[in-house]
Structure 1
Amino acid sequence: MTHEDNPKGTDNVLQDLGFEDAEELSAKAALALKFNQLIEQRRLSQMEAAAITGMTQPKVSQIRRYKLQNISLERLMQALVSLDQRVEIVVQPARRAKVPGIIVAV
């Protein structure tokens, strides 16, 4: 196996798999993970989560199953705020060691 046969991956597996919207999908997945953790910690049903967040039960179900194609980053952030979370967006220059991109830290 030569070096070309084993290309170096990035920190984003979705990007490595060729998804054009890999950064957005990664951010959505991180927010959905936090959303799902909160739902489990609070032992909320999907109907209860929907009532708290202002979403429909089917939308909550989509997030619970990580089906995030029809759910915006903004909606996920609003849902987290509804669950008493503080969501921060930080914009800073990309340094030489870091490439430009979107990062969600939860």
Structure 2
Amino acid sequence: MTRMDHTQGTANVLEDLGFGDAKELAAKAALALKLNELIDQRGLSQTEAAAITGMTRPGMSRVRRYRLRNISLERLMQALVALDQQVRIVVRPARRAHAPGILVAA
């Protein structure tokens, strides 16, 4: 039996897969996850959710399927606000234990 070498992954699977915009995609995914949870909790159809958030129905469909490349962070935040959520952006110096980047806690 031979021993297989492996590379230690990071906390961001998108980065591990080689996505150049992995941090932004991870932030978008966190916002979309919360948005989708709210839509499910309220029992909204895509059409209803699109009307409430001001998105198009095809745009809402992309969010529901986590196809987020052409949807901005700002648009996702606006949709959350339209669903009565408070979105906070906190800017502070990066510490050694925390690398610079974008962190979304939803």
- Pick the TM interval, shorter chain: over 0.9
Partner Cα separation in structure 2 for residue 51 and residue 7 of structure 1: 45
2:27 corresponds in structure 1 to 27
CA shift, 1:83, in A, is 0.3
CA shift, 1:94, in A, is 0.9
CA deviations on 1:41-68 (whole Å, 9 max, x unpaired) are: 0001111111111111111111001111
Aligned-pair Cα RMSD in Å = 1.0
Structure 1 gaps, min length 5 = none
Structure 2 gaps, min length 5 = none
Q: What is the TM-score of this pair, normalised by structure 1?
A: 0.94
1:64 corresponds in structure 2 to 64
Partner Cα separation in structure 1 for residue 80 and residue 8 of structure 2: 35
Q: Within 5 Å, which residues of 2 pair with 1:42-53?
A: 42-53=42-53
Stretches (4+) displaced over 2 A: none
Q: What is the TM-score of this pair, normalised by structure 2?
A: 0.94
Count matched residues.
104
Partner Cα separation in structure 1 for residue 47 and residue 96 of structure 2: 46
